[in-house]
């Protein structure tokens, strides 16, 4: 009989052999090239389930052999983070890459690729190169990084990397001259004069295929709504459609199942897209913890630039104007019925951005107006502040509409970078107003100042009611189709 230590050794060796052979069997599965057995298989086989990760077609996975530093990396070489991000590391700096966009707007002499991501330290762009792959089996072409835009620097306060962990950036590379007529298959970053495993990222390149030119699309920051705001969302979408919005892009951290139902309805109708998103790095992605993180003033805002600019760049090619707004805001034309009529009326074709000042509409409803269903949030709230916000130096009291032929990148409130000198126009409150629906003023206004300057002297303004004959039937139709319609009574107000 063999000694105990030899028996143990043979047992371990036997088990290891079985595991190894099972792995070989899986990796030689003709149907999936081995990756179907990995937990992350959906990221490579369902091209619609992930918005930005590079899609490796299953029939090419066996053929993917890295031969040089400019070869397209294998799926297992890529460093993933929190599902939707890829990691690229440099000395003392880490980049979390989210998406890449092809930009051939006529203002460029050659097309650009814009990479959206977050960075933990300032970048030395002289050390970076973009790689462009045009074919899965051929090596990439390289191009220097031409610019890096730090999106958080639009605010007057100093950005502290130590506090916010990472800052949103847009890294731009000019397409190589020999290939500028072709859209890359994928794009990645690499350090200058390096090779090997540093090439661990490959983002698929986005370019809108819809050739129909739209006048207006709407972008907003990432949604995380555990409560059922489905009726409010339907009203918000239908009102914006009446103003002129033709397409909406939504980014979802987490949402109530009825909100998900609404987003799917509009996506199926072809007027919206709904994309998943997470926070990068070590930032919280558990719903309850992330909610607390977003409630902390100054902590979350740098990360909101990613979904806003991803939306902007997805729609910049086939949309004339991009509207940036939140779910508690409506840009309402007063002397016109739509945004387009307002532009034509004011002859504002030579400006890059139209900006609108905050005008608070209070979340107070004393009595439901019988001509409008009580469950409608915006049209039932008609009590407005006595004046709008007038300080143009404080950006977060404004929202804007951007001309995509003139603006390169945006923030929540204003344009960030333009092709030429930015030309902003502040739309008079008599022409249109940013109706901001809140219980009280935002964080930088004390309760005393809010009462004295805004709440005291509030009065009723029914600016939305001119849309009710079209809006109410449209909203009711959607709610009925989705089985979301609530019984209408004088106490059932939308929240």
List Cβ neighbours of 4 (8 Å cut-off, separation of 6 or more). Answer: none
| pLDDT computed for residue 199 by the predictor | 61
In whole angstroms, what is the distance from residue 361 CA to residue 341 CA?
Answer: 24
The CATH 2.60.40 portion of the chain extends over 42-206
Which residues, listed in sequence order, are joined to residue 206 by a DSSP beta bridge?
Answer: 101
- Please, where in the chain does CATH 3.90.550 lie? 214-481
Max CA-CA distance within the chain? Answer: 98
Total Cβ atoms within 10 A of residue 170:
22
- Contact (CB, 8 A) for 101 and 315: no
Q: Report yes or no: 150 and 167 within 8 Å, Cβ to Cβ.
A: yes
CATH fold of 214-481 reads Spore Coat Polysaccharide Biosynthesis Protein SpsA; Chain A (3.90.550)
The tens-digit pLDDT sequence of the chain (495 residues) is 545 554 554 444 554 444 344 343 333 333 322 222 223 323 222 334 445 555 554 444 444 445 566 777 877 888 899 999 999 988 888 999 999 999 988 777 888 999 999 998 888 888 899 999 887 666 788 899 999 999 876 443 444 444 456 889 999 999 887 665 688 888 999 888 777 555 678 888 888 766 678 999 999 999 888 899 999 999 999 999 999 999 999 999 999 999 999 999 999 999 999 999 999 988 888 888 888 887 765 567 778 899 999 999 999 999 999 999 999 999 999 999 999 999 999 887 789 999 999 999 998 876 788 889 999 999 999 999 999 888 877 778 899 999 999 999 999 899 999 998 999 999 999 999 999 999 998 878 899 999 998 999 999 999 999 999 999 999 999 999 999 986 554 334 444
pTM: 0.84
Strand pairing report for 353-362 and 424-426: parallel
Structure tokens at 298: 């100054």
Closest CA to 95 of 124, 52, 75: 124
The answer to whether 146 touches 173, Cβ cutoff 8 Å, is yes
Instruction: State in words which class domain 42-206 has.
Output: mainly beta
Q: Which residue has the tokens 């400006």?
A: 351
Cα–Cα distance measured from residue 395 to residue 337, given in angstroms and rounded to the nearest whole number: 27
């Amino acid at each position: 009989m063999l000694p105990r230590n030899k028996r143990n050794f043979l047992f371990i060796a036997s088990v290891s052999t079985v595991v190894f052979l099972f792995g070989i069997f899986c990796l030689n599965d003709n149907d999936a090239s081995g990756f179907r057995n990995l937990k992350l298989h959906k990221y490579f086989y369902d091209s619609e389930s992930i918005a930005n990760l590079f899609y490796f077609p299953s029939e090419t996975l066996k053929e993917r052999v890295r031969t040089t530093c400019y070869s397209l990396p294998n799926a297992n070489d890529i460093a993933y983070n929190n599902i939707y991000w890829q990691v690229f590391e440099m000395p003392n700096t880490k980049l979390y890459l989210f998406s890449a966009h092809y930009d051939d707007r006529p203002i460029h002499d050659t097309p650009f690729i814009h990479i959206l991501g977050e960075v933990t330290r300032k970048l030395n762009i002289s050390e970076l190169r973009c790689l462009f792959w045009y074919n899965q089996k051929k090596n990439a072409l390289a191009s220097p990084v031409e610019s890096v835009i730090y999106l958080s620097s639009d605010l007057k306060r100093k950005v502290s990397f130590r506090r916010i962990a990472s800052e949103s950036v847009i890294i731009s590379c000019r397409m190589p001259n020999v290939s500028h007529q072709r859209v890359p298959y994928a794009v990645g970053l690499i350090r200058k004069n390096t090779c090997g495993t540093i090439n661990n990222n490959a983002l698929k390149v986005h370019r809108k295929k819809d050739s129909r030119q739209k006048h207006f699309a709407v972008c907003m920051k990432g949604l995380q709504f555990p409560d059922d705001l489905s009726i409010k969302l339907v009203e918000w979408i239908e009102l914006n459609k009446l103003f002129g919005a033709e397409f909406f892009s939504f980014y979802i951290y987490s949402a109530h199942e009825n909100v998900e139902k609404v987003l799917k309805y509009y996506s199926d109708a072809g007027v919206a897209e709904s994309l998943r998103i997470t926070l990068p790095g070590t930032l919280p992605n558990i719903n309850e913890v992330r909610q607390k993180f977003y409630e902390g003033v100054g902590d979350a805002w740098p990360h909101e630039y990613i979904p806003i600019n991803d939306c902007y760049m997805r729609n910049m090619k086939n949309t004339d104007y991009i509207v940036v707004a939140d779910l508690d805001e409506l840009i309402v034309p007063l002397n016109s019925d739509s945004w387009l009529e307002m532009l034509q009326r004011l002859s504002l074709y030579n400006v890059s951005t139209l900006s609108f000042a905050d005008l608070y509409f209070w979340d107070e409803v004393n009595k439901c107006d019988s001509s409008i269903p009580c469950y409608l949030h915006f049209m039932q709230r008609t009590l407005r502040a006595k004046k709008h916000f007038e300080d143009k130096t404080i950006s977060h009291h404004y929202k804007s509409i951007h001309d995509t032929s003139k603006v390169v990148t945006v923030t929540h409130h204003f344009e960030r970078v333009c092709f030429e000198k930015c030309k902003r126009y502040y739309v008079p409150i008599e022409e249109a107003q940013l109706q901001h629906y809140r219980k009280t003023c935002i964080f930088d206004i004390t309760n005393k100042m809010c009462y004295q300057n805004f709440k005291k002297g509030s009065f009723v303004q029914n600016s939305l009611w001119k849309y009710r004959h079209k809006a109410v039937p449209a909203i009711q139709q959607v709610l009925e189709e989705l089985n979301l319609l609530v019984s209408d009574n004088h106490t059932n107000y939308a929240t």
